[in-house]
Amino acid sequence: MHKGWIWLMAAWGIALAATLGALFIGEVMGMTPCLLCWYQRIFMFPLALILGMAAFADDRRGAVYALPLALAGAALAAYHSALIAGWVPQWWVPCGAGPSCSEQSLEILGGIQIPWLSLVAFLAIVNLLFVYLRKTRS
Convert the pLDDT of each residue in 62-73 to its tens digit: 999 999 999 999
User: How many Å apart are CA 83 and CA 134, to the nearest integer?
Assistant: 33
Query: CA torsion sign, 124 to 130 to 134 to 137?
Result: positive
CB 2 within 8 A of CB 58: yes
Tally helices (H) and strands (E) across the chain: 4, 2
pLDDT at 102: 63
CB 81 within 8 A of CB 116: yes
pLDDT at 89: 74
How does pLDDT run across 42-65, given as a tens digit for each residue?
A: 999 999 999 999 999 888 899 999
pLDDT at 30: 83
E strands present in the chain: 107-108, 112-113
pLDDT at 45: 96
pLDDT at 77: 94
Give the predicted TM-score (pTM) of the model.
0.89
pLDDT at 25: 85
Query: CA torsion sign, 117 to 123 to 126 to 129?
Result: negative
60-85 and 5-23 helices cross at what angle (nearest 10)? 50
pLDDT band at 5 (very low <50, low <70, confident <90, very high): confident
112 vs 77, residue with greater confidence: 77
pLDDT band at 37 (very low <50, low <70, confident <90, very high): confident
pLDDT at 125 over 80: yes
